[in-house]
Amino acid sequence: MKLADKKCSDGGSVPPLKALRTRELLKELGHSWRINGKGHLERHYIFKDFSEAQTFANKVGMVAEAEGHHPDLYVAWGKCKLEIWSHEIKGLTESDFILAAKAEQKFKPFHTSA
C-alpha cells in the first residue's frame, strides 16, 4: 500500500522511527523531502504567486485536519514550506510520511500547470 493511501493513526502511541526506517520512508516519499537540522520532515514548494501558495496551504490544512495530524505551514509569495513531525514524541513516525505523501498529491495539480 502506498503511503498516501494510508491513514495517519499512530500519534503519540509509538516510539520515534529508527534511522534505517526513516531513510527507507524518505526514499519512498522521494521528491525534495529532507530531514532538517531539527530532525523534522521538510519540503519547500514553489508556486507562480502568493495565491497558489495559499491555496496549496489550505488544501494541505484540510487534509491535516481530516487526518488529525498537523504540520507547520509557512506561506510566502510564491512558496510554501511544510515541516512535519510528531509533536508528542518529538520525533518522526510513519504518520509524518503519510501526511507528506498526501501533501504531494495536493501539489500535483500545481506542478502540472507550472
CATH of the domain at 56: 3.30.1360.20
Classified as helix, coil or strand, 62 is: helix
- On whether residue 25 sits in a domain, the answer given is no
- On whether residue 18 sits in a domain, the answer given is no
- On whether residue 98 sits in a domain, the answer given is yes
What pLDDT does residue 11 have? 61
**35, 84 Cβ separation under 8 angstroms:** no
- On whether residue 1 sits in a domain, the answer given is no
Residue 114's pLDDT band, with cuts at 50, 70 and 90, is: very low
What average pLDDT does this structure show over 38-56? Answer: 96
What pLDDT does residue 9 have? 80
Average pLDDT, the chain: 90
Residue 108's pLDDT band, with cuts at 50, 70 and 90, is: confident
- On whether residue 5 sits in a domain, the answer given is no
Domain that residue 39 falls in? 33-113
Q: What is the pTM of this model?
A: 0.90
pLDDT digits (tens, 9 = 90+) for 79-103: 999 999 998 888 899 999 999 999 9
Residue 63: alpha-carbon gap to chain centroid: 10
Overall number of domains in the chain: 1
Least confident among 28-32, 90-94, 101-105, 109-113: 109-113
